[in-house]
Amino acid sequence: MIPIASGASDTAEVDLLKALTGQATTIFTTTPLAHVYVGLFTTNWATAHGSNTEVTGGSYARVDSVGSWAAPSGSGPASVASNAAVTFPTSSAAWSASAAIKSFGIFTALTAGTLLYGGDLTDQTKTVTGASDVVSFASGALTVTLA
């Protein structure tokens, strides 16, 4: 068998990133998602949704991030970064028994929904140990890359 390299074109990568982050696309004929939610996990990223443990408790909720993403750029790989802070609700109690937040995911719904993408956080030491804690990612801190 002869190995064949394969992959998406730069144009397809950029349009896919637009679709994942709720932006209008140029080659896909689809309506942008009305909402794109960022969620947090206490486990390292796993591509199988059931293998990720989402944060729970203490007023945790996914955050709608439509409008918080820059235009995708680059080639082989293309990427898109947040262009606004992504801030979660202020905690009312500890999240996930004060476990460290290790990864994030992008979902189609506030609860349940489809997990579209995810990745490990560079800093995996953040914990929410009680009321009044705030988890926020600065503009540019969340990046989605297609390789």
Q: Examine residue 12 and state whether it is found in any structural domain, yes or no.
A: yes
Q: What is the pLDDT of residue 35?
A: 92
Location of structure tokens 């719904």:
109
- The answer to whether the beta carbons of residues 22 and 35 sit under 8 Å apart is yes
Give residue-wise pLDDT tens across range 104-146: 999 999 998 888 888 899 999 999 999 999 999 999 999 988 8
Q: Work out how many domains the chain is built from and give that number.
A: 1
Q: Examine residue 56 and state whether it is found in any structural domain, yes or no.
A: yes
Q: Examine residue 14 and state whether it is found in any structural domain, yes or no.
A: yes
Q: Examine residue 26 and state whether it is found in any structural domain, yes or no.
A: no
Q: Examine residue 25 and state whether it is found in any structural domain, yes or no.
A: no
The boundaries of the domain holding residue 47 are 1-20+33-147
- pTM metric for this prediction: 0.85
Share of the chain above pLDDT 70, in %: 90
